[in-house]
């Protein structure tokens, strides 16, 4: 089950990928355009696009590291506290069964 923060990260990553793809399409469409103004804008956009790609790579790395750390912490907690973990899992199962049985 994903929390709101995880969903927000995925949505942000998806939106950023879409913006990058659309910007690349726009840059490709204006390749044949002449003029100093267009070239200056193209240069700025290309630099910004390169920066966005680098930040997206860093974002993916941090997200993966965070998920890995959470999994390790959860595994350690469950191994250190097996009975409370079983109790929590059983309680969640009972509550979910009760909720879904009523519908």
* Domain coverage including residue 16: 4-102
d(CA 23, CA 36) in angstroms, rounded, equals 19
Q: Which residues of the chain have a pLDDT value below 70? A: 1-9, 103
Report the pLDDT value the prediction gives residue 37, as an integer from 0 to 100: 74
Report the pLDDT value the prediction gives residue 67, as an integer from 0 to 100: 82
Report the pLDDT value the prediction gives residue 7, as an integer from 0 to 100: 67
Report the pLDDT value the prediction gives residue 4, as an integer from 0 to 100: 61
Report the pLDDT value the prediction gives residue 6, as an integer from 0 to 100: 67
d(CA 73, CA 70) in angstroms, rounded, equals 5
Token output for 55: 């930040």
Q: Which residues contact 49 (CB under 8 A, 6 or more apart)?
A: 20, 23, 24, 27
| 3-state class (DSSP) for residue 2 | coil
d(CA 24, CA 42) in angstroms, rounded, equals 10
Number of domains the chain is built from: 1
């Amino acid at each position: 089950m994903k929390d709101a923060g995880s969903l927000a990260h995925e949505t942000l990553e998806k939106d950023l990928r879409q913006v990058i793809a659309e910007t690349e399409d726009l840059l490709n469409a204006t390749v044949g355009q002449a003029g100093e103004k267009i070239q200056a804008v193209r240069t700025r956009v290309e630099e910004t696009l390169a920066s966005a790609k680098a930040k997206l790579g860093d974002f993916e790395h941090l997200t993966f590291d965070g998920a890995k750390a959470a999994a390790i912490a959860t595994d350690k907690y469950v191994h250190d506290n097996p009975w409370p973990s079983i109790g929590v899992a059983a309680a969640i199962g009972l509550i979910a069964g009760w909720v879904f049985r009523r519908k």
